[in-house]
Amino acid sequence: MKELGEDLKNNAWLKMSEEEIQAAYLFADYYIDFLNRAKTEREAVDYVRRLAQAHGFQPLDQVSDMKPGDKIYMEAKGKICALVVVGHQDLRQGINLIVSHIDTPRLDLKPRPLYEAEGLGLLKTHYYGGIKKYQWLAIPLALHGVVLKKDGTRVDVCLGEDEDDLVLTIADLLPHLAKEQMEQKMADAIKGESLNALIGSRPEGDTGKDPVKAAVLKLLQQRYDIEEDDFTSAELQLVPAFKARHVGLDRSMVGGYGQDDRICAYTALRAILDIDTPQRTAMCLLADKEEIGSSGNTGLQSLVVELFVADLMQKAGYGDYYTVRKALADSYALSADVNGAVDPNYPDVFEKMNNSFLGRGVVLTKYTGSRGKYDSNDANPEFLSQIRRLFDDNRVIWQVGELGKVDAGGGGTVAQYVARYGMEVVDCGPALLGMHSPFEISSKADLYMTYKAYKAFFASFAG
């Protein structure tokens, strides 16, 4: 038989059994459904809460007498949540934590978004997270989010997802008049202030100033019972209106919005739903605000990990600060986030010996960061050795991955924020093509291997 080349030797599809390949394809169908139902962090939390309930997870305050096998659900502000399965081991010895994020780059509406210009109704936006602005032009956009009226009434908005519902969009400049624009640097060619979305063009009557805006307001009033001032206490997000799809003639890939980092959120979620009572207590934490630096009270810089663990330990009778801190320091974590797969269209920014590839399994990323590992967690080799062994013992197909060439750019994850507590942590998740674009690409083999990796991790490190 011919010796396999390096590329094929590492290909996950060739290492998986036929049974496992079938399982991966089936898993991807559920994953695609999740991507289509949860395009914002609030929708992801709603989805997770329902699924957790259906699987017997209970809010902490309904649990008396915590014991191994108990399933607990925790949540804050409707935008960050955790599922916990209590293990046999004493909580004071620490937990196995997998933390992913459920926020995604998008266009947020400004607090005063609506205006009229040239007979068109428009919505001003302020982008959230790292986007390439041109990718948000000339695509159908859906509007998701919540409006809190002055009296506290909450209105849920989801516009543009049903096939026959309307969509919004940001029109792009025609090439005929883009001579000057096309000569500009890509970063400068589209201004943040030009990301204004079309929301109407038909005036209401022929009197008064801004008749199109007036008509839009009337329609908003009819559809949602909101008025213009209500935008000031709202969280409304423009996201791609199209659905996630199978990609490739072999259907081996998933294309869709928000796979950074819902691919890790979904695989971690499924892993914790599927484990038996573990030795160490397992926690699947789904966090918000990663894309803007984990700031805010639903991001991981808010010490919410500490609060969730303290809540659990308080329930178990060990709520004092020292014991909580010690348990956190003795914990193990996977920072479940994606890496950038080597893209054959852009070979210049990758270093193929150390970067990750689509279809070669879940990626262990020792460090992220930029400009000399700045702002990175650099995982300890002692911990990496344990993880390698764990993955190999559980037939998890995995690869190493550094994000691109040195000084090609860089990025960060939440690993550094959980590392603060002294726990061991390493970045671990699949690689994507087109990360942060409205249509990111993942491999179904990697998706399945990520699930297997997380499940093995939750069941591991018994003392």
Q: Of the ranges 89-97, 310-318, 332-340, 381-389, which one interacts with Mn ion (CB under 5 A)?
A: 332-340
Nearest-approach distance from CB 365 to Mn ion, in angstroms:
11
Give the nearer residue to Mn ion in terms of CB position, either 124 or 133. Answer: 133
Nearest-approach distance from CB 336 to Mn ion, in angstroms:
9
Residue from 70, 75, 116, 337 that binds Mn ion (CB under 5 A)? 337
Nearest-approach distance from CB 404 to Mn ion, in angstroms:
14
When CB distances to Mn ion are compared, the closest residue is 261
Angle at 371 between CA 105 and CA 262, to 5 degrees: 25
Residue where the block lists tokens 């640097």? 185
Site for Mn ion (CB under 5 A): how many residues? 3
Give the nearer residue to Mn ion in terms of CB position, either 337 or 446. Answer: 337
Q: Of the ranges 32-40, 137-145, 253-261, 399-407, which one interacts with Mn ion (CB under 5 A)?
A: 253-261
Answer yes or no: are the C-beta atoms of 430 and 401 closer than 8 Å: no
User: How far apart (Å, rounded) are the C-alpha atoms in residues 111 and 123?
Assistant: 10
Q: Of the ranges 194-202, 224-232, 260-268, 419-427, which one interacts with Mn ion (CB under 5 A)?
A: 260-268
Give the nearer residue to Mn ion in terms of CB position, either 20 or 288. Answer: 288
User: How far apart (Å, rounded) are the C-alpha atoms in residues 338 and 441?
Assistant: 11
Give the nearer residue to Mn ion in terms of CB position, either 311 or 337. Answer: 337
Q: What are phi and psi of 254, to 5 degrees?
A: -115, 130
Q: Of the ranges 22-30, 107-115, 145-153, 254-262, which one interacts with Mn ion (CB under 5 A)?
A: 254-262
Listed in sequence order, the residues at least 6 apart from 273 whose beta carbon sits closer than 8 Å to its beta carbon are 51, 55, 83
Give the nearer residue to Mn ion in terms of CB position, either 50 or 374. Answer: 374
Give the nearer residue to Mn ion in terms of CB position, either 35 or 86. Answer: 35
Reference 335, options 399, 386, 290; nearest CA is 290
Nearest-approach distance from CB 105 to Mn ion, in angstroms:
7
Residue from 41, 70, 261, 446 that binds Mn ion (CB under 5 A)? 261
Burial 223-239 (b: 16+ CB within 10 A, else e): eeebeeebbeebbbbbb
Nearest-approach distance from CB 435 to Mn ion, in angstroms:
7
Nearest-approach distance from CB 274 to Mn ion, in angstroms:
23
Residue 76, token pair as written in the block: 């804050």
Q: What are phi and psi of 358, to 5 degrees?
A: -65, 135
Residue from 41, 260, 343, 446 that binds Mn ion (CB under 5 A)? 260
Nearest-approach distance from CB 134 to Mn ion, in angstroms:
18
Give the nearer residue to Mn ion in terms of CB position, either 278 or 412. Answer: 412
Residue 323, token pair as written in the block: 């014991």
Give the nearer residue to Mn ion in terms of CB position, either 337 or 424. Answer: 337
Q: Does 424 bind Mn ion (CB under 5 A)?
A: no
C-alpha torsion sign, points 267, 425, 341, 126: positive
Q: List contacts with Mn ion (CB under 5 A).
A: 260-261, 337
